[in-house]
Amino acid sequence: MALAEPHHILPLPVFDKPVKLLIVVAPYYRDVADQLVEGARATAAACGAETDLAEVPGALEIPTAIAIAERLAKYDGYVALGCVIRGETTHYDTVCNDSSRAISLLGLQGACIGNGILTVETKAQADVRAEAAGQNKGGGAAAAALHLIALARKWAGTTRSIGFGA
Ligand SMILES: Nc1c(NC[C@H](O)[C@H](O)[C@H](O)CO)[nH]c(=O)[nH]c1=O
Ligand SMILES: CC(=O)[C@@H](O)COP(=O)(O)O
């Protein structure tokens, strides 16, 4: 089945050396997670990237799993996949904000991470965004990680030509 192009405006990068991604998925909503993973795997395969998969209980555990894996230095990048649907309390805000902020902080520390954690109001919204043949947010998250890996490799070994204290 042809999968939808991930919603990214950049052509997928081309790699001359192997790439290994770790997909960290929180299958809190299993059917949604499966679609996200399918899209991410298809995008990784389109770039010739190898993928491993790790499952965690919920979106809040995704950044911790990535941090643990990053210390092992086995992967070039990470794809964070999950689905957070608003309930009756403010816990939704905690799960969304803390998982995304932790992922951003890991990125600022140098981890190449694509964030495909859906934060939605309804299951129907999640289904449309997760569907690999639909909006394919999983594919988009994988594409984001791959772009960061390509950028990091392009710049590896370069030094700043100017700058204070360079
Ligand atoms: N409500 C959702 C959660 N909640 C669980 C948390 O992510 C976490 O696992 C728990 O607080 C224990 O630390 N997780 C999701 O991924 N999606 C949700 O809708
Ligand atoms: C996003 C959540 O944590 C949510 O599923 C929790 O539901 P509730 O706010 O009704 O406890």
Q: Please give the full DSSP string across 65-98, using - where no structure is assigned.
A: HHHHHHHHT--SEEEEEEEEE--SSTHHHHHHHH
- Closest residue (by CA) to atom 2 of ligand 2? 92
Residue 26 scores a pLDDT above 70:
yes
Residue 166 scores a pLDDT above 50:
no
pTM: 0.93
Specify the pLDDT at position 6: 55
Residue 66 scores a pLDDT above 80:
yes
Instruction: Tell me the average pLDDT of the chain.
Output: 93
28 CA from centroid of ligand 2 (Å): 11
Lowest pLDDT segment from 4-13, 26-35, 49-58, 64-73: 4-13
Atom number of ligand 2 nearest to Cα 88: 10
- Closest residue (by CA) to atom 6 of ligand 2? 87
Tell the CATH topology of 18-155: Rossmann fold (3.40.50)
Detail the residues annotated as belonging to a binding site: 28, 59-61, 83-85, 88-89, 115, 129
Residue 147 scores a pLDDT above 90:
yes
106 and 67 Cβ atoms separated by less than 8 Å: yes
Angle, helices 91-108 vs 62-72, to 10°: value is: 20
Q: Which residues contact 34 (CB under 8 A, 6 or more apart)?
A: 27
103 and 113 Cβ atoms separated by less than 8 Å: yes
Distance CA 21, CA 84 (A): 23
Specify the pLDDT at position 31: 98
Q: Mean pLDDT across the stretch 21-33?
A: 98
Whether 91 is catalytic: yes
pLDDT band at residue 9, thresholds of 50, 70 and 90?
Answer: confident
Q: Which two tokens stand for residue 66?
A: 């990535």
